Structure 1
C-alpha cells in the first residue's frame, strides 16, 4: 500500500517468496502450440513475481518516506542518505541485487509532498 511500515513490507516480501516457491511447481496442462494462453499466463506470473519482489525489496530498503512511498515508522525524508535511485538486478543465483545511483539535481530541487 501507499502507507507502509517495516513489518508490513517484510510480511509482503515473505508472501511473494512463498508464491514464487509455489509457482515453481505450476503445471500447464494445455500443450497447444497456437494461442496457448495458459502457458502465456504461467510465464507472465513468473515475470510479475520478479517485478513484485524488486518493488517490495527496494521499498523495504529505503529507510525514509519519499513521494508516494510513505513509511509510517519513518515519516521524514532523508536526503543525506537517500537522495538516490535504487537499481535492482538479478545476481548469478537468481536473487535480487541492489545498487544505487545518486540523483543529479538539475532545474528543480526536491520538495516535501503533503498528502
Structure 2
C-alpha cells in the first residue's frame, strides 16, 4: 500500500490550487470582467488576470511532468498570484478570484521553498 508523504501531499495540494486558480482567473476575466466593463477591463488588470491564469497552468504542467524547474516556476507563480489578488481586491465582485489567488500563492510558496 502506497502512503503519501508530506511532500506528495504538498505537491498534490499545489497542483489542485494551480488548477483551480487557472480556471477561476480565466473564467472571471472572460466573463465577469468583460461583462462588468469599466475598471474590470483596463489593460493592466485584464493582462494580469490572463498572466495569472497562464502561469498557474504552466506551474501545473511543470509539476505534473515532474520537472526539476517546478520550484522556480512555482516561485514566479506565487508572485503573480499575489499581484493578481491585489488587483482584484480593488474591484467589485472579485472576491472569489482574490481568495483563489491567495490560496494558490500560499501553496506555490511552499513548493518554491
Q: Into which bin does the TM-score normalised by the smaller protein fall?
A: 0.3 to 0.5
* Bigger Rg, which one: 1
Q: Which has the higher contact order (CA 8 A, sep 6+)?
A: 2
Q: How does the TM-score come out when normalised to structure 1?
A: 0.39
Task: Say which structure is richer in helix.
Answer: 2
TM-score (norm 2): 0.39
